[in-house]
Amino acid sequence: MNDIGIYYAYWLENMKADVIPYINKAGDLGFDILEIYAATLYDKSADYRSRVKKAAEENDVELTFSLGMRKDRDISSEDPKVREKGIDYLESLIKMVDELGGECFSGILYGAWGAPFDSDELDKEAHFKRSTESMKEVMDTAEKYDVSCNMEAVNRFEHFLINTAEEAMNYVNEVDHTHCNILLDTYHMNIEEDSFSEALERVGDKLGSFHIGENNRKPPGQGGHIPWDEVFNAIKEIGYEGRLVMEPFVIPGGDIAQDIALWRDLSEGVDLDEEAQKALEFTKKHLS
């Protein structure tokens, strides 16, 4: 059965937090994986990161990592100095992921996360070329540390370069490396794809990780819009046995809500731990 995880920010208002309590919580709730925003740990001490790794080992929880690159580290930038800064940053984070026992690093690694985009930025062909050339340089480090870098297909409001499974495949085919793979996310797929199953079939064995959640970013099983039977049948059809990570955002306020445009309380006063466990059981049931 696939390992199942949850994103630590489900319980938080701000990304930068002590992640150790959430590693313990994930283990207590029965999750196999906790996903963490990589930049949160980038400037932490070696001692703190050692304690993070120890907590993960003690709870038998795998740590996976995500990221949205900033504009000053955009590997698709016209400015070669900005691209070089981004390449160096990605390589440093890959080393950190390995240091923490991780193998999975996903997100908008290919460009700067977040709208609005200037009109002169919308030359997709030029950005694609610069980004893939930069990512090819990163792959030596990814291979050395055996970390899969998964390019996330996101909705049109968050980036312009990779919105669909087809565009993600075009990107990874151009990079052409075993450690350059794809992250799909049901939230983004619901906006951009014509078919969940066809998108998953198109990606096939290049699917490096899979985010699951409702169309409004609640945990899976809390809505009626996403065709979960179709989604789970498709991952079985393509033989995907990798990570399934919930990425729910339900708490307003703070930098997380600002970044993902959450303007109301979706938690509705419920016990978040109980809802996470319900989502875990929902996922296991669909995998059985």
**Residue 26 amino acid letter:** A
Q: Which is the catalytic residue, given 35, 152, 193, 214?
A: 152
Biggest alpha carbon–alpha carbon distance for the chain = 50
Catalytic annotation, pick one of 193, 214, 247, 275:
247
53 in helix, strand or coil?
Answer: helix
In this structure, what is the dihedral angle of CA atoms 162, 64, 42, 45, given to the nearest 10 degrees? 180
Residues 6+ apart with CB under 8 A from 194: none
User: Taking a C-beta distance cutoff of 8 angstroms, is the pair 37, 67 a contact?
Assistant: yes
| Nearest to 5, CA basis, from 121, 104, 122 | 104
**Of the candidates 111, 125, 26, 36, which has an alpha carbon nearest to the alpha carbon of residue 68?**
111
Instruction: Please state, in angstroms and rounded to a whole number, the distance separating the CA atoms of residues 172 and 182.
Output: 8
152 is catalytic: yes
Nearest to 14 by CA among 262, 277, 245, 269: 262
- Looking at residue 187, its amino acid is Y
User: Which residues are known to be catalytic?
Assistant: 152, 247
